[in-house]
């Protein structure tokens, strides 16, 4: 159902991103993956500015996997910015973090995260989580479509 939607991964750790890519391939997830390694870069991608000014280099993601612990502008700030922007707030954001700190979890949901996933430490659990992610988010959930219009407020 959602197999054409681009997925933006905001992840600064190369090993975590490589494992995610490998696991997506193993789970036959055909969605195009885009990656930003910093919070400011993610906002440039989402607003199609700077090196992402061309629409083809930065299509509107259908879903975002967001790490919290980024250098500079962190994932918490990116999430808060997105959910306060009428053009971006409908994009589902799944926090994808090693932090199981209850304050991080509470803050993520309070700021509009659609879900909070803990990065598994072993490959078998990581693969199972990605299979469940695919089945739930890509096969069953109806995602909002971007029709190019700004969402009206109020």
User: What is the token pair recorded at 57?
Assistant: 């280099």
Instruction: List the one residue out of 132, 130, 148 whose CA is nearest residue 140.
Output: 132
For 20-77, the pLDDT digits (tens) are 999 999 999 999 999 999 999 999 999 999 999 987 889 999 999 999 999 899 999 9
Residues 6+ apart with CB under 8 A from 45: 8, 34, 36, 52, 58
For 111-140, the pLDDT digits (tens) are 999 999 999 888 999 999 999 999 999 988
What is the rounded distance in angstroms from the CA atom of residue 64 to the CA atom of residue 93?
Answer: 5
For 70-99, the pLDDT digits (tens) are 989 999 999 999 999 999 999 999 999 999
| 7-138 has CATH 3.40.50.740 classification | no
Domain boundaries, given as residue ranges, for the chain: 7-138
Which residue's entry shows tokens 């400011």?
40
CA dist 18 to 28, 34, 94, Å? 15, 12, 18
User: What is the token pair recorded at 122?
Assistant: 């072993």
């Amino acid at each position: 159902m959602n197999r054409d939607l681009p997925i933006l991964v905001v992840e600064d750790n190369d090993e975590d991103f490589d494992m995610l890519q490998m696991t997506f391939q193993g789970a036959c997830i055909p969605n195009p993956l885009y990656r930003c390694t910093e919070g400011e870069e993610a906002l440039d991608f989402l607003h199609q500015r700077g090196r992402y000014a061309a629409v083809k280099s930065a299509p509107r993601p259908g879903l975002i996997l967001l790490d919290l612990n980024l250098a500079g502008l962190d994932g918490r700030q990116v999430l808060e910015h997105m959910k306060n922007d009428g053009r971006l707030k409908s994009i589902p954001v799944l926090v994808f973090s090693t932090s199981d700190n209850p304050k991080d979890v509470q803050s993520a949901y309070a700021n509009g995260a659609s879900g909070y996933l803990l990065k598994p430490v072993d490959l078998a659990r990581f693969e199972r989580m990605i299979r469940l992610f695919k089945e739930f988010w890509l096969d069953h959930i109806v995602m909002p479509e971007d029709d190019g219009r700004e969402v009206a407020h109020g």
